[in-house]
């Protein structure tokens, strides 16, 4: 028997329940993971509330990221996976696979090893953030040395990954956060510039920082009415990549700015990378190499024991954190 997190109706973290379930055997193309840690993501908050790109099928599971040890493999899976410490790469629907539990069935294509010097908690904090940022900044925007990149909601794990990618590529990062209380920590975490958007004029500050050039790449999970301001910070030929809907408000298209500047405005999810084996291979190598040599450093905001899963999601929802929220199992 294993404890698994389930929910049978939409709502906030309070809808999550622990269920005792019989251990499952992995099928073709699958492994069973003995879970040691789980990384939390805002996509899960949206999924449990019925606000995600797909609706939950009840009784629903939850969770995209986990790290642990492979304890069983499907009939067609290489037995060399047995006993390996691995982390799960989000490459599936949470209606098909869910990571929040003492064990999880995982498609073998979604497994990624991580540097042996990292803990399970750190292993569970890798793939969502770095693949999301890599796909947008490297695979799509082709971020280059000297580029200005505007990173909104920068205190999230994906935001911090984007700052590190910008640093590694020689680009100049402009991180945003709502209030100034996170500014000093974002600077310590390698952001070149930080704008507190509730206290500063983002258009004026970007113009000042870039000496009037604008931010060629804008990486935004918020959307909503703020997109119009972001478009004003972009130069001719700039690209705005929308990868979330945190504002939960309608998103007007900035027509005139897009026409005059020839802007590219596009939606994106990391599934564009993780569901393409060739692209995923490139992403894994890029991320693994930089984790191994220290160019990428994981920032865990707080860890919670498995029994406090509800509290962990409430903390994530509070926006108080800088970095990744992780649940651990002894």
3-state secondary structure at position 85: strand
Q: What is the pLDDT of residue 114?
A: 86
d(CA 279, CA 294): 23
Q: Is the pLDDT of residue 216 over 90?
A: yes
267 to each of 79, 140, 247, how far by Cα in Å?
39, 11, 15
Distance CA 78, CA 149 (A): 42
Alpha carbon distance 323, 330 (integer Å): 22
Whether the model pTM is above 0.85: yes
Q: Note whether 249 and 225 are within 8 A (CB).
A: yes
Taking only the tens place, the pLDDT of each residue in 171-204 is 999 999 999 999 999 999 999 999 999 999 999 9
Question: What is the SS3 assignment for 173?
Answer: strand
Q: Which residue has the tokens 């069983």?
A: 72
């Amino acid at each position: 028997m294993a404890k698994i997190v389930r929910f049978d109706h939409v709502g906030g973290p309070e809808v999550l329940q622990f269920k005792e379930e019989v251990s499952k055997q992995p099928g073709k193309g699958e492994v069973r993971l003995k879970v040691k840690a789980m990384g939390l993501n805002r996509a899960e908050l949206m999924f449990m509330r019925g606000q995600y790109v797909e609706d939950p099928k009840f009784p629903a599971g939850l969770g995209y990221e986990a790290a642990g040890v492979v304890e069983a493999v499907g009939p067609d899976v290489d037995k060399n996976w047995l006993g390996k410490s691995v982390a799960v790469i989000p490459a599936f629907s949470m209606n098909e696979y869910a990571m929040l539990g003492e064990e999880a069935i995982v498609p073998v294509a979604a497994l990624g090893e991580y540097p042996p010097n990292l803990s399970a908690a750190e292993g569970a904090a890798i793939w969502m953030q770095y693949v999301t940022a890599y796909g947008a900044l490297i695979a799509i925007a082709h971020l280059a040395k000297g580029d200005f990149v505007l990173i909104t909601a920068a205190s999230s794990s994906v935001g911090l990954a984007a700052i590190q990618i910008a640093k590694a590529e020689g680009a100049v990062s402009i991180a945003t956060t709502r209030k100034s209380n996170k500014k000093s920590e974002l600077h310590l975490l390698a952001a070149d510039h930080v704008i507190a958007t509730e206290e500063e004029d983002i258009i004026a500050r970007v113009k000042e920082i870039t000496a009037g050039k604008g931010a060629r790449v804008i990486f935004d999970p918020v959307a909503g009415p703020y997109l119009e301001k972001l478009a004003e910070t972009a130069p001719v030929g700039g690209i705005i990549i929308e990868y979330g809907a945190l504002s939960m408000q309608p998103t007007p298209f900035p027509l005139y700015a897009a026409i005059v500047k020839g802007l590219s405005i596009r939606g994106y999810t990391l599934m564009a990378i993780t569901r393409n084996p060739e692209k995923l291979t490139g992403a894994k190598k890029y991320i693994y190499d930089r984790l191994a040599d220290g160019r990428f450093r994981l920032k865990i905001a707080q860890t919670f024991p498995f029994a406090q899963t509800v509290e962990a999601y409430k903390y994530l929802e509070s926006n108080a954190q800088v970095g990744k929220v992780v649940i651990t199992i002894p």
